[in-house]
Amino acid sequence: MTTARHLFTLLMVSLWGTMTLAQTPHACSAAFVGDKMVVDQYTPTGKCTLATSATGELTVQTVELSATSSRALEPIDFKVAIRDKATGTLRLFADKPFRRVPVQQVLAHCSKGDRIVLLTLDARYALPHNEILIQ
């Protein structure tokens, strides 16, 4: 193979990688119970907590963020796992994906100090606040 062909091949591989990355943006998403976002502030230091008495539907939704507010846009598929406080064991809550699930059903399997872990099923969505501490 000639030098020109090598350079052309490297250029094409590089462009293909750039195009692939450009086609998979990471839309911001957040966990909600009812219409309230679970994280207290959508920043790197934001905290997610829920009381054992929480009620409503647990969802993960894309969000529109601004300096003064945040707004849910569209629910996305997610899975739920529970991290046991005592052992750190992570167990899948259900094998099926959800768009919404009554939070009471998940909390029935949790104790104080456990964490609900939410997993998106599509790499297009970023969910930085994916662990919810049960208080």
Task: Say yes or no to pLDDT of 130 above 90.
Answer: yes
Question: Strands across the sheet with 78-83, in order?
Answer: 49-50, 131-134, 115-120, 78-83, 90-92
pLDDT for 25: 57
CA distance 35 to 56: 9
**Global pTM value:** 0.80
Task: Say yes or no to pLDDT of 70 above 70.
Answer: yes
Mean pLDDT of the residues in the chain: 86
CA distance 83 to 1: 54
Task: Say yes or no to pLDDT of 16 above 60.
Answer: no
